[in-house]
Structure 1
């Protein structure tokens, strides 16, 4: 499956929604995080809390090099008080992702959109 992504700030009010799928090569991964940073920067400039919902149900595992790039990108883009909910395909994947994608209270993994959205909106960032 080729790598694709979408970023939408109108689907759920107050939440930037992303969909990522396929196997990401380094170039697509870099482009995705540049676009991601642009959206987050615009929301910060408007004084909006950073709430991001990522549908990663069809994302293929990253190479170790790309995984390291993902973690550096998260550290560059997100700050304490931001929230990123990542939807994954199963509880097993959720457990595995929690082990490999530790980033404090900023990132959490979910199997359902409803749970992810509830978590995103339940915290005011203060």
Structure 2
């Protein structure tokens, strides 16, 4: 599991932002929590890009489960970095399932997660079922 440490976050922070990547047999599982800065997102997606490329080499395409049920609405500059990176990393044959806990975050991710084969879910179990079908 690869964790990207939050830059500039003190120990007094109520919720430490995090984005962790875990390699599974058939897909990558990403778990995101908190509020992220653009630099934090850039660090995460740099690591994710390498793992997506490795998975694509091994399996022919990338399947990624992104659980953002512990995340919050991201600021506009952070959302723009997410849009940039998802457009850069994912290819037509890749498949991404995103788990969200709020309608507002769902609306934001629908606008910024640039992936041809992407679905949004309220439960991780349903997301995994779709992703691995």
Which residue of structure 2 lines up, in the alignment, with residue 44 of structure 1? 56
The offset of 1:94, in angstroms, is: 6.3
Which residue of structure 2 lines up, in the alignment, with residue 63 of structure 1? 75
State the number of aligned residues: 119
Select 1:106's aligned residue among 97, 105, 117: 117
Structure 1 vs Structure 2 CA RMSD: 1.9
Which residue of structure 2 lines up, in the alignment, with residue 26 of structure 1? 38
Runs (5+) with no aligned partner, structure 2: 1-14
**TM-score normalised by the chain length of structure 1:** 0.83
- Please list every run of at least 4 consecutive aligned residues from structure 1 whose deviation after the TM superposition is greater than 4 angstroms: none
Residues of 1 paired with 2:57 and 2:39: CA distance? Answer: 27
**TM-score normalised by the chain length of structure 2:** 0.79
